Amino acid sequence: MGRKSAHRNSMLANMASSLILHKRISTTVAKAKALKTFVEPLITKSKVDSTHSRRVVFSYLQDKDSVSELFREVAVKVGNRPGGYTRILKTGTRVGDSAEMCIIELVDYNNNYSQSAKTEAKAAPKTRRSSSKKKVEAAEEATVVEVAAEEKAE
């Protein structure tokens, strides 16, 4: 990202704190991808609420409010999820320098996106049974026609 390591680490810590507190932030795609690899292990660490894990997370974030928010609310909501806590949604390019922009958000906090995906999945189930039903019905009709033809012949 064109920064020295100290600047990059502090920038990622600030972005992670903002993401935890606001549940969604707008940034460039490169920063979002770097933030994803930075914040997801911290969220995994927050599933176990112990003094050690709080201190480890605080050593990365350096913000008491975001650490307490992470352990109190975010960890409870993502407790049963095995991974993939963030989502990156691309929004287009920035006007000034045409950098690719996106929104990075915590997955469990966007109710509109998750509900619409569930309803779409339930609305159109795709199974192979529909085509096999047609074949079975066609075969049954053929046997009925054959039986009727045999009865006429007799």
Residues 61 and 41: beta-carbon distance below 8 Å: no
pLDDT tens figures, 9-25: 999 999 999 999 999 99
Radius of gyration of the chain (CA): 27
The pTM of the full predicted model, rounded to 2 decimals, is 0.72
Q: Please give the Cα distance from 38 to 13 (Å, whole number).
A: 8
Q: Is the dihedral of CA 41, 21, 98, 91 positive or negative?
A: positive
pLDDT tens figures, 17-63: 999 999 999 999 999 999 999 999 999 999 999 999 999 999 999 99
Token output for 46: 């927050």
Provide the percentage of residues in the chain whose pLDDT is more than 90.
62
Confidence of residue 139 (pLDDT cuts 50, 70, 90): low
